[in-house]
Chain A
Amino acid sequence: MPFPSVIASSPLIDVRVQGVSHLWRHNEVEHLVLKDINLHVEGGEFISIVGPSGCGKSTLLRIIAGLQIPSDGEVLIGGVSVVGPRSDVGMVFQEASLFPWLTAAGNVGFGAHLKGVPAVERKALSLEWLQRVGLAQAAKLYPHQLSGGMKQRVAIARALANGAQVLLMDEPFAALDYVARKAMQELLIELWAEFRKTVIFVTHHIDEAVLLSDRVVMLTPGPTASIAHIVKIDAIRPRSADGEWLDSEIRQVRLLGRN
Chain B
Amino acid sequence: MNLSTEVKQAQMLYTIFMRDRLSERILYGGLSILLVWGLWELLGRTDLMAAKIFPPPSQFIQSMSSGFKLGLASQTTEIHTAILASVWRVTMGLTLGFFASVAVGCGLAVSGKFRLCVMPLLSLLAPVAPVAWIPLALVMFGLGNGSAVFIVFMGVFFTLTIGCVEAVAQVSTRRLEVAALSGATPWQTWWFVVVPSILPAVFSSLRLNFVAAWMAVLAAEMTGLRDGLGAIIMTGRNLFDNRMILLGMFLIGVTGFVCDQALRFIQRKVLWWPSNRE
Of the residues A115, A144, A162, contact of B278 by C-beta under 8 Å: A144
Whether the Cβ atoms of B174 and A97 lie closer than 8 Å is: yes
Interface residues on B, range: 10 to 19
CA distance A96 to B178 in the complex (A): 10
What chain A residues lie within 8 Å of B188 (beta carbons)? Answer: 114
Which chain B residues (173-203) contact chain A, with CB distance < 8 Å?
Answer: 174-175, 177-178, 180-185, 188, 192-193, 196
B177, B183, B193: which contacts A99 (Cβ < 8 A)? Answer: B193
Given A93-B174, A95-B174, A114-B188, the answer on whether A100 and B277 have CB atoms closer than 8 Å is yes
Binding stretch for chain B, among A2-10, A23-31, A83-91, A246-254: A83-91
> What 0/1 pattern do residues 122 to 163 of A give for CB contact below 8 A with B?
000000000000000000001110000001000000110010
Task: Please determine whether B181 and A98 come into contact, CB atoms closer than 8 angstroms.
Answer: no
Known: A114-B183, A162-B183. A96 touches B278 (CB 8 A): yes
Contact B181 A65 (CB under 8 A): yes
Given A99-B193, A100-B273, are A151 and B181 neighbors across the interface (CB < 8 Å)?
Answer: no
Looking at B184, B185, B278, which has the most chain A CB atoms within 10 Å of its CB? Answer: B278
A178 on the interface (CB 8 Å rule)? Answer: no
| Contact A84 B183, CB 8 Å, known A97-B278, A100-B273 | no
| Chain A residue contacts of B184, Cβ below 8 A | 114
Contact A110 B182 (CB under 8 A): yes
* Chain A contacts for B178, CB-based, 8 A: 97, 99
Q: Does B274 contact A (CB under 8 A)?
A: yes
- B26 → chain A closest CB, angstroms: 28
Which 9 residue pairs across A and B have the least CB separation, nearest first? A100-B273, A111-B182, A85-B180, A143-B278, A87-B183, A101-B273, A85-B181, A97-B174, A101-B196
Instruction: Give chain A's interface residues, CB within 8 Å of chain B.
Output: 65, 67, 84-85, 87, 89-91, 93, 95-101, 110-111, 113-115, 142-144, 151, 158-159, 162
